[in-house]
């Protein structure tokens, strides 16, 4: 169906555009390249900001520092010996050690011991916290 048209277009001679047309073509191409560079620079900047935000976090406020609704701290009875309450810094330290262990492909025994220490720290933090009744 389009074969005669394609053949006719193929048979047409190639001509060189005039100098004025080349100037317009070159100007349009430069604008296109500048737009692409601007978009790429903006995208790269946005990715760098997002990566920095994820890497450094949204600040030093963790979920452990925020008061949770529905949870109330109770005072231990004098008869019971209270477990030492771990600070948020110690949990952060253990989490960092876990990250480093995974990064260096630590063996399973080391990872298991770090996870056990983390579990113990979390249990010591929540022993004195009781949920409120609804």
Residue 34 confidence class, pLDDT cut points 50, 70, 90: very high
Q: What is the pLDDT of residues 76-111, one digit of tens each?
A: 444 444 444 456 677 888 899 999 999 999 889 999
∠ at Cα 32 (29, 37), nearest 5°?
A: 125
* pLDDT at 31 (0 to 100): 95
Supply the pTM of this predicted model.
0.33
* Side-chain half-sphere CA neighbours of 46 within 13 A: 6
């Amino acid at each position: 169906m389009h074969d005669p048209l394609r053949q006719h277009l193929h048979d047409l001679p190639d001509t060189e555009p005039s100098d004025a047309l080349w100037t317009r073509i070159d100007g349009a191409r430069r604008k296109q390249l500048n737009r692409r560079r601007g978009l790429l620079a903006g995208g790269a900047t946005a990715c760098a900001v997002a990566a920095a935000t994820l890497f450094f976090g949204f600040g030093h406020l963790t979920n452990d520092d925020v008061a949770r609704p529905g949870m109330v701290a109770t005072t231990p009875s004098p008869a019971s010996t209270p477990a030492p309450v771990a600070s948020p810094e110690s949990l952060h330290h253990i989490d960092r050690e876990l990250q480093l262990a995974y990064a260096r492909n630590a063996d399973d025994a080391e990872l298991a011991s770090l996870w056990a220490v983390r579990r113990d720290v979390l249990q010591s933090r929540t022993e004195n916290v009781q949920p409120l009744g609804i």
